[in-house]
Structure 1
Amino acid sequence: MADSPSRAEIIDMLRQHVEAGCTDMLTEAPVNQFAASEIRLGLKSDSAPPRDNSQAQPTGPATTPLAIPQVPPETRIDTHNLAASADSLDDLRATMDHFDGCALKKTAKNTVFCDGVAGAKIMLIGEAPGQDEDRQGKPFVGRSGQLLDTMLAAIGITREENLYISNIVPWRPPGNRSPSIEEIVTCKPFIARHIALAKPDILLLVGNISNKTLLDTQTGITKLRGQWQSYEADGLKIPALPLLHPAYVLRRPETKADMWTDLCQLQKRLAS
């Protein structure tokens, strides 16, 4: 008789299922999770990106779920008008610093607004801050950020010289979970205004959430990666390159070659 799988093997197997897009155990009847999300939030499916499975998830012992403060409906603010009122990056940062319409801000240490060179030709947009980013108040400063810095530096791109970085969601979700649809929808006007004010020539969209949110697509990152897209909003039309999330590459080292291939596409574009 074959040996029973170890706990580590079972966890690895479950992780592979999650990365493949599985969210539930097998049931007697199919459940449309996208429709369920629309019913809960009253959203159209094209504005509701599903959970991003490329984001690194905690692998330690199971813990009691964190209590997440809720924002009462009467205090929720239409972020479209709020974001549009910002006339500069400094105005937008101040607006977001004073914004209390997202429950994530109540548990986050910092508003992770940006890093790098404002006005740079290239703007990179990630998903949401992790623990290191929340502590330092800057995007991509943990292990995945270090890998990203190393790979971009190999083609002459650094946050100290010619790169500007931000996130779809500026506040860390508790436990490093993926942002909810409602949280993404709340924060989307802020990143859209951020792009409009930063005026980059090229966007690098890292991970599922950034691509599905800004490109209004349901296509996963593993199919989108390395294929130039177009970000269109507020009268802008900016070339956008979808990239794998470095946290995903760290978990699956065999995908590093794909990341290099995609960065070569960027290098060719910059050289043309």
Structure 2
Amino acid sequence: MNAARDLHPEHLRSLLHFYADAGVEWLLEEEPVDRFAEFQAMRAARGVPAQPEAVSAPQQPARQASVRQEQPRAAAPAPLPNVAIPDGQAVAEAEFAASSARSLDELRTAMEAFNGCNLKTSARCLVFAEGNPRPSIMVIGAMPNAEDDRDGQPFSGRQGAMLDRMLGGIGLARSDLLITNVVPWRPPGNRPPSQREADICRPFIERQIALAEPNHLLVLGNFAARFLLRSNDTIHQLRGEWREIDVCGRTIPAFATLHPQDLVTAAISKRLAWQDLLAFRAGLES
């Protein structure tokens, strides 16, 4: 195996990007290194005397049992602020927080204050909807990746550039749309959200759709299509056809296609996505 110092800078940069996309957050060496011994050797080489070992405090004599019984019992430690609450309660609290918001700004504030989803404790930040708050088209993906979590924006980095090319090919610009994800916090290692995590996040994405009032939805990828269309079919069974989604008493036409990440990892998917986008554009015009 080649060491990092032996790699060309461009190769090293590509390798680090690959690790980041794969969810790697810590890099470890092949063999353990005693950093304390290295530090002491460095001090000895500079002629710095070693620090004397700490002298333990003299042991206090044991108190009598009667005295110990008179001591007040210590108070229980306060609960941690990010301890997860039961799933059913979390869903109810999410529904209340979402329904209380009267605008996208209020909804974002409510989601930032919400602590009922475990994904929030491991994510760097909330990745909220971005773009036109009153769009004709709303684009919905699955969840933030590492670059989205770092930048605080949906569809950034390579998959964001691919999405821009997908939209530009049918005459759409990101600034004219509202772009968001079903799940607003990045799961650890980019793993798929669990069913309970998705249930907790459902009130928030449905409230985003209700507040934005789009005329059409473009749904990207397997997870988002299954979630919003409430189907167990795969994206290859759901893609390429107009369907309807009921959100807060309103029926909205929705169209599912492949996620930009599918096109980044498998170039053969571009042909299928292009067919879908042409059908989506034709549906908009009709």
Do the aligned residues in 1 keep the contact of 2:21 with 2:146 (CA within 8 Å)? no
Higher Rg of the two aligned structures: 2
What residue in structure 2 maps to residue 193 of structure 1?
Answer: 207
**Which runs of 4 or more aligned residues in structure 1 lie more than 4 Å from their structure 2 counterparts after TM superposition?**
59-64
SS at match of 1:200: coil
What residue in structure 2 maps to residue 239 of structure 1?
Answer: 253
What residue in structure 2 maps to residue 261 of structure 1?
Answer: 275
Task: Determine the C-alpha separation between the residues in 2 that align with 1:212 and 1:203.
Answer: 14
The TM-score normalised by the length of structure 1 is: 0.73
Do the aligned residues in 1 keep the contact of 2:140 with 2:181 (CA within 8 Å)? yes
SS at match of 1:240: strand
SS at match of 1:124: strand
What residue in structure 1 maps to residue 120 of structure 2?
Answer: 105
Residues 82 and 62 of structure 1: CA distance in aligned 2, closer, same or farther (over 3 Å): closer
Task: Determine the C-alpha separation between the residues in 2 that align with 1:62 and 1:262.
Answer: 39
What residue in structure 2 maps to residue 170 of structure 1?
Answer: 184
SS at match of 1:253: coil
Structure 1 residues 50-86: Cα deviation after superposition (integer angstroms, max 9, x where no partner)? xxxxxx972879999xxxx861429735112221111
Shift, 1:185, TM fit: 0.5
RMSD: 2.3
What residue in structure 1 maps to residue 264 of structure 2?
Answer: 250
Do the aligned residues in 1 keep the contact of 2:130 with 2:154 (CA within 8 Å)? yes
AA at the equivalent of 2:125: N
Do the aligned residues in 2 keep the contact of 1:127 with 1:206 (CA within 8 Å)? yes
What residue in structure 1 maps to residue 234 of structure 2?
Answer: 220
Task: Determine the C-alpha separation between the residues in 2 that align with 1:61 and 1:84.
Answer: 36
What residue in structure 1 maps to residue 90 of structure 2?
Answer: 76
Aligned mate of 1:135, from 150, 163, 167? 150
Task: Determine the C-alpha separation between the residues in 1 that align with 2:91 and 2:238.
Answer: 33
Q: Once the two structures are aligned, what percentage of the paired residues are identical?
A: 42
What residue in structure 2 maps to residue 58 of structure 1?
Answer: 22
What residue in structure 1 maps to residue 224 of structure 2?
Answer: 210
Task: Determine the C-alpha separation between the residues in 2 that align with 1:247 and 1:70.
Answer: 33
Structure 1 residues 169-214: Cα deviation after superposition (integer angstroms, max 9, x where no partner)? 0001111111111111100010001100000000011111111111
Could you list the runs of 5+ residues in structure 1 that have no partner in the other structure?
A: 1-55
Count of aligned residue pairs for this structure pair: 212
AA at the equivalent of 1:103: N
The TM-score normalised by the length of structure 2 is: 0.69
What residue in structure 2 maps to residue 114 of structure 1?
Answer: 129
By relative contact order (CA 8 Å, sep 6+), the higher-ranking structure is 1
Structure 1 residues 72-129: Cα deviation after superposition (integer angstroms, max 9, x where no partner)? 4297351122211111111111100110111111111111011111111000000010
Do the aligned residues in 2 keep the contact of 1:126 with 1:205 (CA within 8 Å)? yes
Residues 61 and 188 of structure 1: CA distance in aligned 2, closer, same or farther (over 3 Å): closer
Task: Determine the C-alpha separation between the residues in 1 that align with 2:23 and 2:188.
Answer: 15
